[in-house]
Chains A and B, each alone.
Chain A
């Protein structure tokens, strides 16, 4: 039997075996209903990351069946910018949105306007009405990329997310994300990966922080806000009941680390175990459930069941504000272990066959390089570039078979293009340069070395 015939016969036999392989798969009671719920959560899910200045108030609207990230507090959001997904009706009347005691009530002062853009654009918001203190916004990605809002929050979209309407027009007033606006300003900037397009709807708003409730014991209850935390903070118990947990209980159960060494010590102590605290009615006495902090080691479910969410939310920038080239060097806070679609810079730890072990780093150029170096306490770079690699984060990247690699055996003018094996042969003695990898659907489709002096 010749090889080709043998191969074809194997294929035919494999076909029969494969078609017999799946077991009987049970249908859920209401698959359509579950899909509809996912769509609704997708639309109502937004960048529920706290706006700068509210320390430790990362409020995520999630069903509490999921375990928590230790560094997040899974509390009912009080920003008034997004209703908890569990309370959102089919169409939301903004006047009925419960912002929670102490939450921020948002009043829309202008008609929504929609604009589109590609890449980083300064958006003109129109004439600012009297009393406007912020802007309600919703951004839909029209192509894959990373998009950053004016407050530093943002989202990452893959191809499947492109064109998805995150909030229906009729729900805009109730569910739009709100960012503050500098006094007198009538514009803000949307930053996006070069070539990535987006659609933005905005309206001017005024915001008002409501009062916390006070129970018979004189304790405050409600949601976290710019004034800090009440005594009893709103949470959703593991049984789905809305109630309150004592902040003091939570802090005692899950203390903040005081140093990196302490953080490591706490992490080892805690392992994968969560810590439970009681959930009360607002009286602080009647127990109605429990709230679990930490545990699991998996990211919190941001609203799509057990699946990793494709559109990930990034936290606002910290004290480091220089902007790295490409897709940046923060692949998303809820997306540990993944490298989303985009162009990423890093160092090759190892490579072979169809995999690259990739040490993600930040590549800054021009003014951003100067800024990044200053942020790190270094002098301005001589050659207009600066590499920051403070993280030990590495990724095992799968490479498609027809990927091309551009590499530089000599001067920058001597760039060559070849397949992975050609590149590896040229780098048998080590990887002299960092590389940019273009990732699509989780795989590297092309790469190019970053030549440097």
Chain B
């Protein structure tokens, strides 16, 4: 089995960034590594064509599709315990004052809030706000219209605010 020219260097150079995206999509390190390796293995056969364009975007697109597919398969499995209450939520400023490990708690709550988003909303939020990609770039990766990206992102943000609490970040930073 021949190794495509430049693929090894791509894997070594871009994997750290892609792995972080994978972690944001899956929420745990083992699944993230699995998702990344699956996407890279699926990219390998197409490398000669992919390398002419934007290979990192291609791998992200494969990760997004694969992640959606896995989520559908895991739909009926156990989900993480919901520590928050949708619609009202834990007020961040309530626990921040009493919990010395506030930043850790923030992360746990945010991660759990992300986990509650439907898969397309989570993908749109991660690609827009974590990977800092434009609406057009996200639309290409998610294989949908720019309008869908905007609506999925907006719905995701609304739902995150509901889960985190209406005034989560805004009030905290005042």
Residues in A lying within 8 Å of B, measured CB to CB: 1, 6-7, 9-11, 13-15, 17-23, 25-28, 31-32, 34-36, 38-40, 42-43, 90-91, 158-161, 163-165, 168, 304-308, 310, 335, 337-340, 354, 395-398, 400-402, 439, 441-443
Contact = CB atoms under 8 A, between A and B. Distances in A.
A14 B169 contact: yes
A7 B157 contact: yes
Contact of A400 (B33, B106, B120, B125): B120
Contacts, number: 174
Interface residues of B, number: 67
B15 interface: yes
Interface of B: 1, 3, 8, 11-12, 15-16, 19-20, 23-24, 29-30, 32-38, 40-42, 44-46, 62, 64-66, 68-77, 106-107, 110-111, 118-120, 125-126, 129-130, 132, 143-145, 147-148, 151-152, 155, 157, 160-161, 168-170, 173
Given A10-B161, A402-B151, A443 B72 contact: yes
A20 B36 CA distance: 20
B169 A13 contact: yes
The dominant DSSP class at the B interface is: helix
Nearest to B62: A160
Contacts of B110: 17-18, 21
A308 B1 contact: no
Given A18-B24, A25-B32, A27-B16, A160 B106 contact: no
Contacts of A43: 1
Contact of A31 (B11, B35, B62, B74): B11
B148 A21 contact: no
A168 B1 contact: yes
A442 B119 contact: yes
26 contacts: A11-B157, A13-B169, A13-B173, A17-B110, A18-B130, A23-B23, A31-B11, A31-B36, A35-B37, A35-B40, A38-B40, A39-B1, A43-B1, A159-B65, A160-B42, A164-B42, A337-B73, A337-B77, A340-B69, A398-B72, A398-B120, A401-B148, A441-B69, A442-B69, A442-B72, A443-B120
Contacts of A168: 1
Contacts of B160: 14
Residue from A21, A43, A396 with most neighbouring chain B CB atoms (10 Å): A21
